[in-house]
Amino acid sequence: MKETRFQICVLGLGYIGLPTASIFATKGKLVLGVDVVQSVVDTINEGRIHIEEPDLDILVRAAVQSGNLKAATKPEPADTFIIAVPTPFTKLDDGSLEPDLSFIKAATESIAPCVEKGNLIILESTSPVGTTELMRQWLFEAADGRIGADDLYFAHCPERILPGQMLKELVTNDRIAGGLTPEAAVKAKELYEIFCSAEIFLTDARTAELAKLTENSYRDVNIAFANEMSMICDQLGIDVWELIKLSNRHPRVNILNPGPGVGGHCIAVDPWFVVAACPEKARLIRTAREVNDSKPQHVIDQVKQRAARFRKPVVACLGLAFKADVDDLRESPAVDIAVQLADLFPGDVLISEPHVKVLPKRLSDKAKLVPAEEAIQMADIVVLLVDHKPFKRLSRRVLDQRVVIDTRGCWATG
C-alpha cells in the first residue's frame, strides 16, 4: 500500500459491498473491505471473487493489483465508512417478516474504535425507516463519549443494481443520498460522484430508506397481479401467456409475466419492512406479498395433480436461482419448490441449475444435480422454474412425451 490511511472502509463484501469497494479502488481511492468470513477475505486478497457476476473478477483483480483494495476481518480508521451488510428477517406466526438489524448493529459497533471527527458514515443496506437514526445512536453508545453527536455525518444511500448487470448499473443508475443532515447528504453525493455518471438526488435519510422499500413494493404488487391472473387462468383453463400478450395490446396496459413466486433479497423481503412499520395501512402491500408467497404451493399442487397418472413419477426441476442467468439462490421460490417436491417424491427428483456446481444443503441429500437434457430424458414431468438462457435454447423435441409445467413462459407459444 502506498499509504496506511484508508480513504474508504466498506463493511460487507457481498453482492453490493464488493462491487462498491472495487469500483472506488479502481478510481484511485485507498479502500479497505471488511468481511467477517476469513475465506472471503483471503479470496479477495488473492484478486479473486467468491460470487458470480459478469466482469467483477476483472474489476477486483485490477483493484487488488493496483494496491488500492485490501480485505480484512476488522475495520481500520478511514475518512468514510460504508455499511453494506445483510438485513435478514425473522418469520412471525402470521407469515409476515420482521426485519433483523443485528448485522447492521454489529457493523456499526465495530467501527466505533476507528471513527474520528468529520467522518462520513453511509448505510447502503436496505433497511426499515429510521435505521440510519438507530445506527447513529448505536455508534455513539459504542463510542462511549469518545465522539460527539455533531462530529460525524450520517447518510443512507440505497443501491438499485441488478444481479448480472451490477457494474454497469452502479455507474449509470440514478441514486439517492439521504442525510440525517443536509450537510451529510451533500458529502454522500460528492462521494458517489467519483464513479456515478447518473443523477444523484438529495433528500433526508427517512425518505431515502422508504424510497428503496417503495420501489421494490411497487414491483412486488405488479408481480402479484400477474401471479394471481396465472392462478385464475389455470383454474379456468386459459393460457395465461396468450392472455397477457393480448391484454398488453392496450396502449396503457403493461402486465408483467408471472412466475413460480418472487425471490431475491429485495423484492421478496423489502415490502415486509413497510408492513412492519405501518401494518394497518399497508393492506395492499401485505396482500401482494401473500399472493406471491402462495405461488410456490400452487406450482407444487400442479405437479401433484399431473403426477397422479404415474405409478412412480420422476420429476425434473429446471433452475434454482431467484432470476434468470445468475447464481443467486437467496429467497428463491425455485429452491423451496424443489425441496418440497423432493420430499413428495423421494429419490425421484432431478435438478438442473447451470450456475451452481453443488446443490444447497436443503437439497443435497434429497435430489441429484444433472445437466438439463439428461434430467429431461429421465423425467416424466418437467418443471421449468427459471428461464435461464440454456433452457430457452433447448430443442422442443426433447420435451416430447413429457408433462411440462412452464412457470416462466419459457416455451410459451401463445
Q: Is 266 a catalytic residue?
A: yes
Out of 266, 295, 317, 410, the active site residue is: 266
Give the DSSP H/E element, type plus range, for residue 348.
none
Distance of alpha carbon 104 from alpha carbon 19, whole angstroms: 19
Distance of alpha carbon 291 from alpha carbon 245, whole angstroms: 22
Out of 212, 295, 323, 410, the active site residue is: 212
3-state secondary structure of 2: coil
| Inter-residue contact 153 to 190 (CB < 8 Å) | no
| Inter-residue contact 192 to 175 (CB < 8 Å) | yes
With a CB cutoff of 8 Å and minimum separation 6, the contacts of 34 are 9, 10, 11, 12, 13, 71, 72, 73, 74, 75, 110
Distance of alpha carbon 255 from alpha carbon 229, whole angstroms: 10
Q: Is 212 a catalytic residue?
A: yes
| Inter-residue contact 313 to 345 (CB < 8 Å) | yes
Phi-psi region of 374 (alpha: psi -120 to 50; beta: other; left: phi over 0): alpha
140 alpha carbon, distance to own chain's centre? 30
Distance of alpha carbon 247 from alpha carbon 280, whole angstroms: 33
- Active-site amino acid positions: 212, 266
